[in-house]
Amino acid sequence: MGFQAVKFYQTGTFTVGNRLLAPDERSLQSVETRSNSINSGHRACQGCGEALGARYAIDAAMAESNNQLIAANATGCLEVFSTPYPESSWQVPWIHSLFGNAAAVATGIAAAMKVKGRPEVRVVAQGGDGGTTDIGFGCLSGMFERNDDVLYICYDNEGYMNTGVQRSSATPPAARTATTMPVGPEPGNVFGQGKNVPEIAMAHGIPYVATATVADLRDLEYKVRKAMKMHGARYIHIFVPCPLGWGTASHDTIRMARMAKESGTFPVFEAEYGEVTGVLKIRHKIPVEEYMKPQRRFAHLFGKNAHPETVARIQAIADRNIRKYGLLEDEGN
Amino acid sequence: MPNKPFAITLKPGTSLANLTGTWRTTRPVYLDRLPPCNNACPAGENIQGWLFHAESGDYEQAWRVLVQDNPLPAVMGRVCYHPCEGACNRGQLDSPVGINSVERFLGDEAIKLGWKFNAPATASGKKVLVVGAGPSGLSAAYHLARMGHQVEIHEAGPLAGGMMRFGIPKYRLPREVLDAEVQRILDMGVTLKLNTKVENIALSMKQHGFDAAFLAVGAHIGKRTFIPSGDAAHIIDAVSVLRSMEGEDKPMLGRKVIVYGGGNTAIDVARSVKRMGAEPIVVYRRTRDKAPAHDFEIEEALQEGVMIKWLSTIKQADAGAITVEKMALDDKGYPQPTGEFETLEADSVVLALGQDVDLSLLEGVSGLEIVDGTVQVSPNMMTGHPGIFAGGDMVPSERTVTVAVGHGKKAALNINAWLNDATYEPAPKHELAGFDKINPWYYSDADKTVRPMLDIIRRQTSFDEVQGGLDETNALFEARRCLSCGNCFECDNCYGVCPDNAVIKLGPGKRFKFNYDYCKGCGMCATECPCGAIKMVPEET
């Protein structure tokens, strides 16, 4: 992977900070002067992966742009929990317009900055998976196609969570949501539908596409900073577990993200101009079952009326990811 | 915001008005848990504490933390059987941290660079007599001196060290290492009187005006057993053999030496006589897994060519030969005779069947209780006679250097309290930081550094030290394998993973604190803390 992984300093680069590393080798999140772009007092649920992912990403973008950053936000959890009238958690210039137009709003801001002769001001757009993969998809694709100078960040928690956990096109197969009930011969969300937006973004041939998780902070920061160094349309898809929607313990959010990556369920990679240039390897491979079992949205696949064949299909998807992206260290390495 | 349109513009960061801490049902608290290594250390060392400094390359500070509990790190790093490593949580990941090898490195650095102990506290005006300059006595003397007491050690032998010198062979503990660490204790102002056997403890204390005494005479009398033997059979005890190795006159044992017993002393004798050119055979009545000797010592002995006859007892000893009977373990694991006999060539038989304590100095002392040849002490290490404390091999316990050092420290703390008409109350132990408290994901994968071993020919023919030490690079590496179980090492994880920015970073060395105004109690900090230094506790209602 791109950032320099430190081999052996007790915890190496696995932890947020590390007193044994030189200060400039530590993560941004370990520094007291991080911008805390999204401040305390926000109303995200306990253990919210999205609140965490947004702070990780926007703090990194702030640092890379010397705090000259404007953020456009789609409707969604992030918008709702951060700005209930009359409070805002944001400590960056931030704008919310509609559910589906965050990419277009950001494009407009970028164009305005260009006209005003303010090239130092950088623009990010952000939204959940609903606002990105479903509702805002047209605006997003347009932004990619025009190669507008915007970094779009999608926080993927695999469903519409603040409205009561409905299915999105990022909801995984077999998962229970309010709209994909665990009933019938093939309970939960259907197989073979939904979309892989990182790959669709790559298909636009834009300068940079990357995936990341809240469990790999150093990788996430590296990718945001790298994206901010580039111009044109860029897309980062961050995996942010949702305790409420997934039925997991609030303290397990990072653990779930880690297991998604370690099982191959969520491949972590980066791509430039449509070509994969790096992957974050699996460190200790686990079966998908280990990742799924703690989640109540998959509970119907286990226990008394188990569906091992469904679990096997999900395992096959993970195995395909591992093969396709080369997620395992080469043999003999 | 008077001039802004309604509900369109909000001030940055105004969510601070919303105190989300009210949502909380459980709260995170920082705590120090007891690392399993510290818990297992018979000398009561704060292992995690000194490794912490070694991790950052501050070896002198690491050594200073180490010697707060144990004044003999270079000795420890060679002879301790390191129960700490057996308890180490890292053992469940790959292999335990090489605590013992780092300890030796620190001890050797201290000798090389001439680090001295801090000067004792102001003089208390009290005098304490320590009887015996073995590990227990030296440890007690050191701690008492640090507390400001005037300490005098009376040693019956010609040199300090006790069993460290007269029991442990040179190939495990080079004497210059021992001498250096003893001298450093004496440099604190401790008086050592050699060749001074205390014949009567009560009399000695009275004559020289000692306020208290610590007895640590060890167990130097080799146990005998009855072996039917002819007049010409050469039977000698292991302690005498090991002691005579130290002198000019090496023991005359012949070529075929039978060592009877299965403890560490038996192995020490066998390995020593092997180095003198003899052919030792260890005879032990039970099996290897039942032998009290440490398995690595048995393994090293076998590598060096020591023969071991398991499940055998000596029935008869004659000039030039012994008869052994084969044994078989019964259902309960006890050896039972089988009636099968075998004759082995034997120029001499060394009995390594344990040792007894010479209790003659205690004659006439009131209030003492002696059980099975050892002096009974209360939990504060005091014998039944007020002001007389005892420790080491002469009290009932496991007989190792490390245990003895621990006794010395514990006795010193209690003697100090007793001299001040107080009672020593040890701080309550923290809860144990078991492996279930660790989040192993965060630690780099790294196998233990193996210490170099002397080549086999030199091991068989010389008393050169068998096990080598680590150099600076691999000692640092080894220290950094420590998981810091139960004790914050400032990795910033809690600070980073809190979705609510509710962790306040207090700066290097000052750790963190929670901002309970905003902490929602999700518990992510506790789950993602690598070392288990955060605990979730129910919120009071």
Identity of residue B421: D
3 state DSSP class of B541: coil
Pick from A12, A46, A258: which is nearest to B522 by CB? A46
Q: Which chain A residues touch B14 with a CB distance below 8 Å?
A: 41, 86-89
Q: What is the Cα Rg of chain A in Å?
A: 19
In this structure, what are the phi and psi dihedrals at residue B293, rounded to the nearest 5 degrees? Answer: -65, 150
Residue range A135-164: mean pLDDT, rounded: 97
| Tens digits of residue pLDDT in B506-533 | 999 999 999 999 999 999 999 999 999 9
A16·B496 Cβ contact <8 A: yes
Judging by DSSP bridges, how do beta strands B355-356 and B221-222 pair with one another?
Answer: antiparallel
Residue of A nearest to B19 (CA): A41
Q: Report the residue from A9, A40, A82 with minimal CB separation from B16.
A: A40
Across the range B56-74, mean pLDDT stands at: 96
Contact A46 B23 (CB under 8 A): yes
Cβ contact A95:A73 at 8 Å: yes
pLDDT at B449 over 80: no
Residues of chain B contacting A16 with CB distance shorter than 8 Å: 491-493, 495-497
* Contact between B524 and A254 using a beta-carbon 8 Å cutoff: yes
H or E element that contains A59: helix A49-64
Contact A41 B17 (CB under 8 A): yes
Q: If you average pLDDT over every residue of chain B, what do you get?
A: 93
Please say if the pLDDT value at position A333 is more than 50. no
For chain A, where are the E strands, in sequence order?
69-73, 94-96, 122-128, 151-156, 208-213, 234-239, 269-272, 275-279
Instruction: State whether residue A313 is helix, strand or coil.
Output: helix
Q: What token pair was written down for B159?
A: 């040199």
- And the tokens for A74? 């789609």
The predicted structure's pLDDT at residue B2: 58
pTM confidence score:
0.91
Instruction: Mark yes or no for CB contact A39/B13 under 8 Å.
Output: yes
Q: Phi-psi bin for A215: left (phi > 0), alpha (psi -120 to 50), beta? A: alpha
Which residues of chain B does A85 touch, with a Cβ-Cβ cutoff of 8 Å? 7, 10
pLDDT of A36 reads 96
Best mutation target, B52, B89, B444, B448, to test chain A (most A CBs within 10 A): B444
Asked whether the beta carbons of B501 and B518 are under 8 A apart, the reply is yes
Q: Spell out which residues of chain A touch residue B505, defining contact as CB-CB under 8 Å.
A: 32
Is the omega angle on the peptide bond into residue A119 within 30 degrees of 0, that is, cis?
no
User: Burial code of B235-271, b = ≥16 C-beta within 10 A, e = fewer?
Assistant: bbbbbbbbbbbbeeeebebeebbbbbbbbbbbbbbbb
CA pair distance A157, B309, nearest whole angstrom: 67
How large is the angle between the packed helices B47-55 and B472-479, nearest 10 degrees?
130
At B541 the pLDDT is: 72
Neighbours of A37 (CB within 10 A): 25
- Reported as a single tens digit per residue, the pLDDT across A110-142 is 999 999 999 999 999 999 999 999 999 999 999
- Quick check: A49 and B499 CB within 8 A? yes
CA distance B16 to chain A (A): 5
Asked if residue A331 has pLDDT above 50, the reply is: no
Q: Do B497 and A89 touch (CB under 8 A)?
A: no
Say which of A44, A46, A91 has its CB closest to residue B12: A91
Distance CA B303, CA B78 (A): 19
DSSP state of B431: P
CA atoms B498, B21, B513, B531: torsion sign: negative
Which residue is closest to B508 within chain A, CA to CA?
A19
Contacts of B527 in chain A (CB under 8 A): 251-252, 254-255
B64/chain A closest Cα distance in angstroms? 20
Asked if the Cβ–Cβ distance from A51 to B23 is below 8 Å, we say no
DSSP secondary structure code for residue B445 in this structure: P
Q: What's the pLDDT band for A186 if we cut at 50, 70, 90?
A: confident
**Closest partner CB to A40 (pick from B15, B443, B526):** B15
**Which residues, in sequence order, are CB contacts of B191 under 8 Å at separation 6+?**
B151, B152, B153
**Nearest neighbour of A43 by CB, restricted to B7, B18, B443:** B18
> Which pLDDT score is estimated for B327?
93
> Is A42 within 8 Å of B527 when comparing Cβ atoms?
no
- Give the pLDDT mean for B237-251: 85
CA distance B143 to B155: 18
CB–CB contact B492 A16 (8 Å): yes
Q: What is the CA radius of gyration of chain B?
A: 28
> Which of B491, B495, B503 to mutate to probe the A interface, most A CBs <10 Å?
B491
Interface test with B, best of A80, A251, A282 (most B CBs within 10 A): A251
Per residue in A57-96, pLDDT (tens digit) is: 999 999 999 999 999 999 999 999 999 988 999 999 999 9
Structure tokens at A31: 């520094």
Report the gap between the CA of B102 and the closest CA in chain A (Å): 15
Residue A170 in this model has a pLDDT that exceeds 50: yes
pLDDT value at residue A332: 41
Is the pLDDT confidence value at B108 over 50?
Answer: yes
Q: Which residue of B has its CA nearest to A5?
A: B444
pLDDT, position B68 = 96
Q: Please state the rounded mean pLDDT for residues B66-85.
A: 96
Q: Name the strand (E) or helix (H) holding B279.
A: strand B279-283
Q: Give pLDDT, residue A274.
A: 97
Contact flag B441-A258 (C-beta cutoff 8 Å): yes
Lookup: tokens for A137 = 């998809």
- Whether B480 sits inside 8 A of A43 (CB atoms) is no
User: Quick check: A40 and B501 CB within 8 A?
Assistant: yes
Is there a contact between B16 and A15 if contact means CB atoms under 8 Å apart? no
- Å between B523 CA and nearest CA of chain A: 5
Phi-psi group of A147: left, alpha or beta (phi > 0 → left; psi -120 to 50 → alpha; rest → beta): left
Give per-residue pLDDT as tens, B305-335.
999 999 999 999 888 889 999 999 999 889 9
Question: Chain B: residue nearest A86 by CA?
Answer: B10
Instruction: Give the per-residue pLDDT at A5.
Output: 59
Q: Please say if the pLDDT value at position B167 is more than 60.
A: yes
pLDDT range class, residue A38, cuts 50, 70, 90: very high
**Binary contact (B490, A87; C-beta < 8 A):** no
**Min CA distance, B540 vs chain A (Å)?**
19
Distance of CA B347 to the CA centre of its chain: 37
Short-list B208, B99, B220, CA closest to B167: B220
Percentage of the residues of chain B whose pLDDT score is greater than 70: 99
Predicted pLDDT at B450: 77
Residues in B closer than 8 angstroms to A252, CB to CB, are: 527
Q: Find the residue in B nearest to A46 (Cα).
A: B522
Taking CA atoms, what residue in A is nearest to B501?
A40
d(C-alpha A135, C-alpha B394), whole Å:
82
For B382, the 3-state DSSP assignment is strand
Q: How many Cβ atoms from other residues are within 10 Å of residue A282's Cβ? A: 20
pLDDT tens digits along A238-277: 999 999 999 999 999 999 999 999 999 999 999 999 999 9
Of A8-17, B97-106, B304-313, B483-492, least confident by mean pLDDT is: A8-17
Mutate to test the interface with A, among B505, B511, B524, B528 (most CBs of A within 10 A): B524
